[in-house]
Amino acid sequence: MTAEDEAAEDEAAEDEAAKGGAVRGGRRRNGRSPSPRTVGGARELAAALLTAAGVPSTEAARTAHAIVLADCWGIGSHGLLRLPYYLRRLLAGGCRADARLVTVTDTGPLVSYDGQHGLGHWQLWRAAELAAERCTQYGVAAVTVGRTSHCGALGIYTLPPVEAGQAALVLSNGPAVMPPWEGHRPVVSTSPLAAGFPGARSQDGQAPGRPAVVDLATSAVARGRIAQRAATGEPLPPGWAFDAAGRPTADASEALHGMLAPLGGAKGFALAFLVEAFTGGVVGPSLSTGVTDMFAAEDAASPQDIAHLVVAFDVERAAVDGAARERLAALSESVRQAGGRVPGEGRTPPEEIDPAGPLTVPDALADELATWARRLGVG
């Protein structure tokens, strides 16, 4: 990435920060911390807290945007719920506030970054933007980020390629929480994956069709949903998790210290293995068995060493007849005609989300964020 590219990225992120409410120095001019009860207020508060924890304003704004977008999309398990954990790790040193992306390899269509243990949100977003840019040039591109941290909801990072009319595949790993099928010890993470496909082309001045976005964990459930239920005391459904001894459990707190069941039995574990091989195995530097758990307070000072991978490819150049987008649109329409729902189609594009719109935040989480605001001098 050239210096001009980086400057353009910084300028764009600063513009977005202004729209979404990033706060210089972690403070608002009126002396009060923003309310997380609106989309704009939540972005502003998240950016202010991250800035107060030492994250540069551009990276704080991008991270805040990704965090709140997860909440807007109904993925609260990967939204503001996680912010206190990120802050704890930033202050303890397990996540570096001043980290940069350091280029390890750049062949043109393949770029590898060392994330220096920084926040995964802004780092993977930069990787996705670069993948889209290089895909436009080469027809296909892969960008990796190793030695990084948790990035939130993975489907968010399909947006840069998809908005450029490309298909995207995004993979990540995390701490080992899932055993092999019929195994007794965790060896892989929830092994999440996301894939995005562009919608129909715009015609006659109409907006293009909504993209399809597949975003899932290869465990029976995302670990963030376990954390949500642990916070409220709500029991887990059967088949979600095991305790540390490998026994099925409905207790979310036990599950956080135990293991998660794979999605779809042996086939689900095979898919999880695939994700782990591409991320922990190929990108590195650690397999999931060596990745620190962000939910463990005693590990807050230890880097996570998470790995991310984003691949983008030009669907039209890959098609035998240049009509890929028309067929993708037909596929989505066939799902609707059959009474189904296209994955991810109901998610509102970021540019259409009203900053003044309400955001549902549990009282306990709002109180916790207010405590962090007081601690960090925000407001």
Structure confidence at residue 19 (pLDDT): 38
Mean pLDDT of the chain: 90
In this predicted structure, what is the pLDDT of residue 6? 44
Residue of 224, 203, 199, 201 whose CA lies nearest to 70:
224
Provide the pLDDT for residue 220: 85
pLDDT tens per residue across span 134-154? 999 999 999 999 999 999 999
- The tens digit of pLDDT for each residue in 89-128 reads 999 999 999 999 999 999 999 999 999 999 999 999 999 9
Q: Which residue did the predictor score with more confidence, 146 or 244? A: 146
Residue position matching structure tokens 């590898």: 112
Q: Can you give the pLDDT at residue 26?
A: 44
Which of 2-16, 123-137, 351-365 has the least mean pLDDT?
2-16
Q: What's phi and psi for 304, nearest 5 deg?
A: -85, -35
pLDDT band at residue 321 using 50, 70 and 90 as cut-offs: very high
Radius of gyration, CA atoms only, the chain: 20
Q: Which structural domains are found in the chain, ordered by start?
A: 33-92+355-378 (1.10.1530.10)
Average pLDDT value for residue range 174-190 = 91
Q: Cα-flanking dihedrals φ and ψ of residue 196, to 5°?
A: -125, 145
What is the pTM assigned to this prediction? Answer: 0.86
When mean pLDDT is compared over 9-13, 106-110, 199-203, the highest value belongs to 106-110
pLDDT over 80 at 248, yes or no? yes
Per-residue pLDDT at 246: 81
CB 244 within 8 A of CB 283: no
Q: Report DSSP letters for 182-221, one per residue.
A: T-SS--B----EEEEE--PPP-TTPPPPPPEEEEE-SBSS
Comparing 62-66, 228-232, 319-323, 329-333, the range with the smallest average pLDDT is: 228-232
pLDDT band of residue 202 (cuts 50, 70, 90) is low
Higher pLDDT, 30 or 169: 169
Say which range, 97-101, 199-203, 275-279, 362-366, has the weakest mean pLDDT: 199-203
Q: How confident is the model at residue 222 (pLDDT cuts 50, 70, 90)?
A: confident
